[in-house]
Amino acid sequence: MQREVGSLPLAPALRARLVAAGFQTAQELLETGPCGLSKEIGISKEEALEALQVVRQACHGEAARTAGASGATRKCTALELLEEEQAQGFIITFCSALDNILGGGVQLTKITEICGAPGVGKTQLCMQLAVDVQIPECFGGVAGEAVFIDTEGSFMVDRVVDIATACVQHCQLIAEAHQEEDHLKALETFSLESILSHIYYFRCRDYIELLAQVYLLPDFLSEHSKVRLVVVDGIAFPFRHDFEDLSLRTRLLNGLAQQLIIIANDHKSAVVLTNQMTTRIGQSQSTLVPALGESWGHAATVRLIFHWDNSQRLATLYKSPSQKESTIPYHITSHGFRDVQPPAVTQNAEDTEMNPRKRPRREEET
Amino acid sequence: AAWVASPQLRGRAVAFAARVGEDPGQDGARSPLPAPPQVSSLLPAPRCSGPGLARAMVVLRAGLCPGLTEEMIQLLRANGIRTDLASNFLSLMLFAVVDFVSSDLEDVAQKCSLSYKALVAVRRVLLAQFSAFPANGADLYEELKSSTAILPTGSPSLDQLLDSGLYTGEVTELMGAPGSGKTQVSGTEEGRGQVCLSIAASVSLGLKQHVVFLDSTGGFTASRLYQMLRSRAEDEEELASSPGAVQWSQRCSWGGGKCGGNKGPWLHGMLEALQRVQVVRVFDIYEVLSALQELRDRLSQQVMSSMGPLKIVVIDSVSAVIYPLLGGKQSEGLAIMMQLARELKTLAREFSLAVVVTNQVTRDSSTGPLKPALGRSWSFVPSTRVLLESKEATWEKATTQRVASLAKSPRQPTGIQVELDTGNGDVQEPSPVTPTQGL
């Protein structure tokens, strides 16, 4: 296993010293041992020991992979991935049109970005998703918990109470209509209190707190392994004010994006980010574009843009690896994020995304 | 004699040098053995003095070459063999090949009471092992002819741009750009990813070769690859029954590898094609480097148990893992980037692979011109660069028209543009039946 010293995750100063002393491969480092190493480079024995630990981990990580251990590796064939993807659930949004264009709902293990002008409903959708992720599996949900990282302070608990109450009612109606045992059993644990207690809320006031929170999130998630949704409401806000060094901002944002992808992948959870819009002034006209620049556009796998058309709210799927670009209208009611109801049809449409094969005969009010 | 710089021939050169060194024809330790003309004429000029030399050192170890035993090394060290060149270093417990090779062997033999012949033999072998050999142009051409392959990308217009396809032994870069004119957002993010998937699909299904796909953005969607494979297979073979008759029950089709009899033979071909694409998720530059290292180890040991003939490695995307390190006052980012570049190029060259990397396009300021990301240093790494753009697409309209233009090529004139045909394997309409059915 001839790992080059330059490719090991060591501190740059240490690496420079190692290369200057003539070490080329990890093998040589391991053979020299901590005492020899500390004498050669002029570092303390503890530092040498630490460095060798890192080297050993990197090399043995490889050895474990070549031996076929599957735990930490992320290697598989496309066929296995396909099976995994199809077995994965989606987080529904209660708006069947939006679920359709997303291919079933918000996907797990991917980053979804929602961009929109202020007031168009991004935070509403985030709160709806934080409730929807907890829907039990027998009703078509993923039965997970949610982490909500708030940077703008727009999280309103009373609104979440409204949304959660409506969701619980919805499930109760379905359970009554079908009278299946697992439905009723699930309903015992699915109540307003349990929903609220499973939303973990973090408030970050500036970008340093946000970065720290995201980098500390893996530890939190390993303790709370049922989390299936991480929402960062307002990723643009801390990075747009008083940031003089734009290259630093790009670096930090890219590092953040990679960390979020790792979280989404390792913990099989969906990551939802909301972004603001900014104006790009062109030659003859100005247009609204998502904030944070071009390079940020590459971070998210799925991108939704919410915008207004007179007084109708529209959602456009702008970027997706497997779905076509399309636009649908949606509605925000007192119960949360919903479809736009065509005026003549009754309100049965809302139940279909829960259990598409069976239509409850009961009507419900909006 | 012409020496070709390939590992096999070099091994033979080393063995030859060792044999010549043991020629018992000479007596006495004083007169130096005539070195075979090839080796001495290839003696590299003294590399440099001072700090530059430090980086050219390789530690002298037992087993580095035959004849260099542990006792010999201990003796050399114990006598504190140094030269002027080595005096720049803080402490010299270790001993470098360069020191040994450039020192006066008579002196060394005297001080350490080692046989002069043995020292000369060791030096010869070390030189052979660590020097670079020049290659004859004709031999190089022959080698290239026998080892280079051209892989079609699955899109005839892109093949035309690339001079009939992806060349093995080279690094090709695909850059995804935001559209010109009214577009604000990179609509061809998916375009770049889609082209990578279509390349993987074409190589796996059409050529029946293995593909290694390093995914660093989490954007690899197996269902989309499946869609592409399916439409490609449907184009190639005519289905006996209508597509609607083939029931795709998502869970039990491939669960245990069983499938019903009414599914066409193209299903098996597709399953195999999916199995030939190996996806490695690497989200960190060190993970990318260790994944490449592991790939190289596997290929050099020629353990082909699960890996068939590998001809192409796709990395999507390289800028995502390097961007967090670049910029600012730290030069570490550039060093790591160049390390990655070196890995990719040696991988491509040594194992005759086509390496495809993807990059993004940025602007300096909000109104500045577009330029490829990762800067000028990276621009020397790929030999071919293709820019993918999406013309006249805004997020209000649904039309996308993808155009690929050649930004750098060793074979074609730059600036030529083609329109990418997206007819093959286009995204399907969202199914109105159930939300879970995305295929």
Measured between alpha carbons, how far is residue B156 from residues A226, A311, B98, B174, B201 in Å?
A: 47, 46, 52, 16, 14
The tokens for A142 are 């993923």
CB atoms within 10 A of CB B328: 12
Q: How far is CA B241 from CA B247, B265, B428, in A?
A: 11, 12, 20
Q: Kindly determine whether residue A6 and residue B339, on different chains, have CB atoms separated by under 8 Å.
A: yes
Cα separation values, A308 from A293, A311, A338, Å: 22, 6, 16
Distance CA B299, CA B212 (A): 12
How distant is the Cα of B156 from the closest Cα of chain A, in angstroms? Answer: 22
CA A292 – CA A294 distance, rounded (Å):
7
Averaged pLDDT, A303-316: 89
Q: How confident is the model at residue B191 (pLDDT cuts 50, 70, 90)?
A: low
**HSE-up of A64 (CA within 13 Å, CB side)?**
13
Residue partners of B412: CB distance under 8 A and separation at least 6: B161, B162, B163, B406
B54 to chain A: closest CA residue: A20
User: E-assigned strands of B259-400?
Assistant: 277-281, 310-316, 354-363, 370-372, 384-391
Higher pLDDT, B187 or B135: B135
CB contact residues (below 8 A), chain B span 207-246, against chain A:
213, 216-227
Q: Residue B178: what pLDDT?
A: 52
Please judge whether A322 and B373 are an interchain contact, meaning their C-beta atoms are less than 8 angstroms apart.
no
Residue B251 pLDDT level (bands cut at 50, 70, 90): very low
Q: Which two tokens stand for residue A22?
A: 């003539």
Q: Tell me: the pLDDT tens digits for B142-163?
A: 888 888 888 888 788 888 888 8
B185/A303 Cβ within 8 A = yes
Share of chain A above pLDDT 70, in %: 89
Identity of residue A22: G
B231 to chain A: which residues are within 8 Å by CB?
none
Does B63 contact A at CB distance below 8 Å?
Answer: no
Q: Is the predicted pLDDT of residue B304 greater than 60, yes or no?
A: no
pLDDT band of B220, cuts 50, 70, 90: confident
3-class DSSP string for chain A:
CCCEHHHCCCCHHHHHHHHHCCCCEHHHHHHHHHHHHHHHHCCCHHHHHHHHHHHHHHHHHHHHHHCCCCCCCCEEEHHHHHHHHHHCCEECCCCHHHHHHHCCCEECCCEEEEEECCCCCHHHHHHHHHHHCCCCHHHCCCCCEEEEEECCCCCCHHHHHHHHHHHHHHHHHHHHHHCCHHHHHHHHHCCHHHHHHCEEEEECCCHHHHHHHHHHHHHHHHHCCCEEEEEEECCCHHHHCCCCCHHHHHHHHHHHHHHHHHHHHHCCCEEEEEECEEEEECCCCEEEEECCHHHHCCCCCEEEEEEEECCEEEEEEEECCCCCCEEEEEEEECCEEEECCCCCCCCCHHHHCCCCCCCCCCCCCC
pLDDT tens figures, B360-388: 887 766 666 777 888 888 889 999 998 88
At B409-438, the pLDDT tens digits run 888 888 888 887 654 334 333 333 333 333
**B403 pLDDT higher than 70:** yes
* B73-85 pLDDT, tens digit each: 666 666 655 433 3
Residue A214, pLDDT > 90, answer yes
Comparing C-alpha atoms, which of A111, A361, A91, A77 is closest to residue A253?
A: A111
Q: How far apart are the first and last CA of chain B?
A: 61
Read off the pLDDT band of B344 (50, 70, 90): very high
User: Is the pLDDT confidence value at B263 over 80?
Assistant: no
- Going by C-alpha positions, the residue among B368, B354, B283 that lies closest to residue B317 is B283
For the segment A223-259, what is each residue's pLDDT rounded down to a tens digit? 999 999 999 998 988 888 777 887 788 888 888 999 9
**Helix, coil or strand: residue B302:** coil
Cα separation values, A74 from A77, A181, A215, Å: 10, 38, 20
Residue A89 pLDDT greater than 80, yes or no: yes
Q: Chain B: residue nearest A265 by CA?
A: B218
Report phi then psi at A343, rounded to 5. -60, -30
pLDDT at residue A62 is higher than 90: no
Q: Do A262 and B284 touch (CB under 8 A)?
A: yes
Over chain A, what is the mean pLDDT?
82
pLDDT at A344: 55
Dihedral (Cα; B421, B425, B429, B435), 10-degree rounding: -150
Closest partner CB to A77 (pick from B275, B373, B436)? B275
Identify each DSSP E strand in B148-287 by its residue range: 150-151, 166-167, 171-176, 210-215, 277-281
Q: Write down the pLDDT at residue B219.
A: 80
Residue B241 has pLDDT above 80, yes or no: no
Tell which wins on pLDDT, A364 or B234: B234
Query: Residue B196 in contact with residue B169, Cβ under 8 Å?
Result: no
Indicate if the pLDDT at residue A212 is higher than 90: yes
pLDDT of residue B146: 83
Contacts of A356 in chain B (CB under 8 A): 433-435
pTM of the model: 0.73
* Neighbouring C-beta atoms of residue A189, cutoff 10 Å: 10
- Banded pLDDT at A195 (limits 50, 70, 90): very high
Confidence at residue A179, expressed as pLDDT on a 0 to 100 scale:
78
CA distance readout (Å), A259 to A217, B118, B178, B409: 9, 56, 24, 35
Distance of CA B249 to the CA centre of its chain: 39
Compute the distance between CA of residue A111 and CA of residue A130 in angstroms, rounded to an integer.
Answer: 15
Q: Whole-angstrom Cα distance, residue B310 to residue B278?
A: 10
Cα–Cα distance between A214 and A219 in angstroms, integer?
Answer: 10
Asked if B334 is an interface residue toward chain A (Cβ–Cβ < 8 A), one would say no
Task: Report the C-alpha gap between B79 and B81 in whole angstroms.
Answer: 6
Which residues of chain A make contact with B185, given a CB cutoff of 8 A?
A: 289-290, 297, 303, 318-319
Task: Please provide the average confidence, as pLDDT, over all residues in chain B.
Answer: 67
Contacts of B279 in chain A (CB under 8 A): 75-78, 81
Let me know the angle formed at the C-alpha of B331 by B329 and B334, rounded to the nearest 5 degrees.
130
CB A308 within 8 A of CB A120: yes
Residue found by looking up tokens 């700090």 in the block: B51
Separation of alpha carbons B281 and B284, rounded Å: 9
Q: Could B436 and A90 be called an inter-chain contact, meaning their C-beta atoms sit closer than 8 Å?
A: yes
pLDDT of residue A339: 85
Confidence of residue B36 (pLDDT cuts 50, 70, 90): very low
pLDDT for the residue numbered A270: 93
B183 close to B399: Cβ distance less than 8 angstroms = no
| pLDDT greater than 80 at residue B23 | no
Q: Cβ B290–A323 below 8 Å, yes or no?
A: no
Give the closest-approach CA distance of A218 to chain B in angstroms: 14
Task: Say if the Cβ atoms of A298 and B61 lie within 8 Å.
Answer: no
- What is the pLDDT at residue A209? 93
For residues B292-319, give the mean pLDDT: 79
Count of CB pairs separated by less than 8 Å, A with B = 252
Nearest to A6 among B54, B274, B335 (CB): B335
CA separation for the pair A257, A250 (Å, rounded): 10
What is the Cα Rg of chain A in Å?
Answer: 25
- pLDDT exceeds 70 at position B66: no
Lowest mean pLDDT segment, chosen from A256-260, A321-325, B42-46, B281-285: B42-46
Record: contact B438-A105, CB cut-off 8 A? no
Give the confidence band of B63 by pLDDT, cuts at 50, 70, 90: low
Question: What region does B415 belong to: left with phi over 0, alpha with psi -120 to 50, or beta?
Answer: left
- For B105-115, what is each residue's pLDDT tens digit? 777 777 666 67
